[in-house]
Amino acid sequence: MNKSLFFTVLSILLISAATDAHACTSAIITGKVTANGKPMLWKHRDTGQEQNRIAYFDSGKYGFLALTDAPDKGEEAWIGTNKAGFSIMNTASYNLKDDEVREMDREGKLMFRALEICAGLEDFERFLDTLSRPMRVEANFGVIDASGGAAFYEVNNHSWVKLDVNDPAIAPHGYLVYTNFSYTGRINQGKGYMRYMTASDLFLEKSAIGGFTPQWIFSHVSRSFYHAFLGIDLCDPAFSTQLAKGWFIDQDFIPRRSSTCSIVIEGVKPGEDPLNTIMWTVLGYPPAGVCVPLWVNMESRQPALLVGQGENNRSPLCEKAVGLKHRVFSVERGNGPCYMHFSLIYNSEGTGFMQQLTILEGSLFEKYNALIDSLEKEGMTGKKLAKKSVGEMYKEVSALIEEVYDRL
């Protein structure tokens, strides 16, 4: 794209659009196209609450691990997985509501309760049917289970529609991408169409060769500054500080100022122990975050960097990523919050936050995969998870993570 046209288009976007507070990007990827044959549930969260934490709950039939807002006392979950292998997340939808109900936004409470009581898709469907109307939600709920089930549920106050991701007629490439509209909702209404274009481009290109992994999703989607509608990628040399000022408008990229985490829940194959499910977790602004794998069978013994600490109940790792984000979005007056100092994230010298943390994350994934391979060979997974080995790994990688953040 011509550079003058690029900046003209971005100027128009700046005038016409503001950041949506609840505008996530997500996907379900079936085992047909993943590297290890296991399904994956991905959520790149955008919200007005930038401080997230991980918590373990044992308040219902099944213990579960979930993402929650730091200030929350419980009873809301924004993505999570339980000991039965049931995993759920959501994106807000803006083209399903067909009534005048004003008291809404109970999605977090719905998912919290589902994690307490559901073991599979059928349980979730019965749960939806038994909820009192209006349900006070307008959302796309993504669900996978330990039996191979994988589906999105488009839900409004009074009804729901299931889209089976295992059905080739619905998901011909083995996955479904969602942003903030529903396929069965009102046509050309809703939000997130630009992000949907971008995510669809990235996923389709990957599907040609297959082999989806959590690491690929983090590095190639949640940290991608490709913009499908504009046909540009801010990581291209054309936008280096040698040819541009290093500042750009933050509009309709997948990672945005409102992005607060990226999580991939890697499920299990049918017949496998549900406790082998792994919740790969990047807390805070994804371009300034790193991934840590979590197992629900570790229960409350999750890494200290990811769970709530101190008076504000904040995750130290989330705080570190959010702190770097504030340096990127440092202009407060006027429309300043719409501008990002992109050269702090990525630059031709290789000193950007994202570039340095990507190197760290690459070395961490080598450690994670080596541990997982070792545990599988020794039969120390699932119910027999070698919790001591996992705990030692958490201590080792936490020290490495803190060391790198201290240098940034």
Mean pLDDT for 58-62 is 97
Backbone angles phi and psi of 314, in degrees to 5: -100, 150
* Domains of the chain by residue range: 23-407
Reported as a single tens digit per residue, the pLDDT across 193-212 is 999 999 999 999 999 999 99
The set of residues, in sequence order, having a beta carbon less than 8 Å from that of 83 and lying 6+ positions away, is 62, 63, 64, 274, 275, 296, 297
pTM over 0.85: yes
Note the pLDDT of residue 20.
53
Q: Which helix (H) or strand (E) holds 163?
A: strand 160-164
User: What DSSP string describes 201-219?
Assistant: HHHHHHHTT--B-HHHHII
Task: Tell which wins on pLDDT, 13 or 280.
Answer: 280
1 has pLDDT over 50 = no
Cα–Cα distance, 218 to 190 (Å, whole number): 25
52, pLDDT greater than 50? yes
DSSP 43: E
Work out the angle between the directed axes of helices 107-117 and 121-130 (0-180°, nearest 10): 130
- What top-level class would CATH report for the domain 23-407? alpha beta
Q: Tokens 């999570």 — which residue? A: 80
Dihedral sign, Cα of residue 267, residue 273, residue 274, residue 276: negative
Q: With pLDDT > 70 as the criterion, what percentage of the chain qualifies?
A: 95
Give pLDDT tens digits for 344-366: 999 999 999 999 999 999 999 99
Helices (DSSP H) in 293-352: which residue ranges? Answer: 316-328
Q: Is 344 helix (H, G, I), strand (E, B) or coil?
A: helix
Asked if 179 and 25 touch (Cβ cutoff 8 Å), the reply is yes
